[in-house]
Amino acid sequence: MRLARLLTNTGPVAGRYDDGTLITDHGTYEVGRDGRLLPPCTPSALYCVGRNYAATLDQMDYERPDAPDFFIKPPVSAIAHEQPIPYPIWTEQLTYAGELVAVIDMRCQNIAPREVPEVVRGYTIMNDVDALDQPGRTARKAFTGSAPLGPWIETDLDPTALSMHTYVNDEKRQDARTDLMLFDPFEIIAFLSERFTLQPGDAIAFGSPANPGDIEPGDTVAITYEGIGTLRNTVAAPV
């Protein structure tokens, strides 16, 4: 099942998504006619794991981590499918990275890897936008609009062996599988739950495969994960 959120003239609504239609307890809405998609969850934080694919370590000349290497994006980072990616005036190098994301369904802490499926609502997609020329991860990755998220949450999915690809305009830039992760999604969620009390709607991104790269104003980034769909956003002019 796919779960989505829609911004209507009377406010946000949430429900089951089916081929362009959102079915809620209070009515049915057509995406586009009745409103636009919102990020499919409202996280208190977006927990992002880096350096989780061996090919990416080789490409970026990173050392292999002994434990999941993570950082946090704030809620204002999240923007929806088809919304423009901002290009801040204070950077001259913006990059994309296509990542699988788990959405937490209940408040939890100190869970074991085997318990993770019980606390996950489902899976979606994130573009980990990075102002690569800025100093430090927070300055690079935590700005408003730096986490396109969506288009919806797929609830019936095994995240451990999915194919993915990323296109920038008509050029394939990423092509990988989630079974190439150094730490699998269940290990990562359990690891983070030892350090944080995870809240309903929190998003956990599992890192990008190799070939994250530069994007320019006017570029369209389309990230597809098997079993979920495609997250698509176009880069806006610098503001």
The model's pTM: 0.95
* pLDDT at residue number 54: 78
Note the pLDDT tens digit of each residue in 125-163. 999 999 999 999 999 999 999 999 999 999 999 999 999
Note the pLDDT tens digit of each residue in 195-230. 999 999 999 999 999 888 999 999 999 999 999 999
Over residues 179-193, the mean pLDDT reads: 96
pLDDT band at 59 (very low <50, low <70, confident <90, very high): low
Note the pLDDT tens digit of each residue in 70-100. 999 999 999 999 999 999 999 999 999 999 9
Q: What one-character-per-residue DSSP string does the chain give?
A: -EEEEEEETTEEEEEEEETTEEEETTEEEEBTTTBEE--SS--S-EEEEES-BHHHHHHHTPPPPSS-EEEEE-GGGEEETTSPEEE-TT-S-EE--EEEEEEE-S-B-S--GGGHHHHEEEEEEEE--EETTSSSHHHHH-STT-EEEEEEEESS--GGG-EEEEEETTEEEEEEEGGGBSS-HHHHHHHHHTTS-B-TT-EEE----S---EE-TT-EEEEEETTTEEEEEEEEEE-
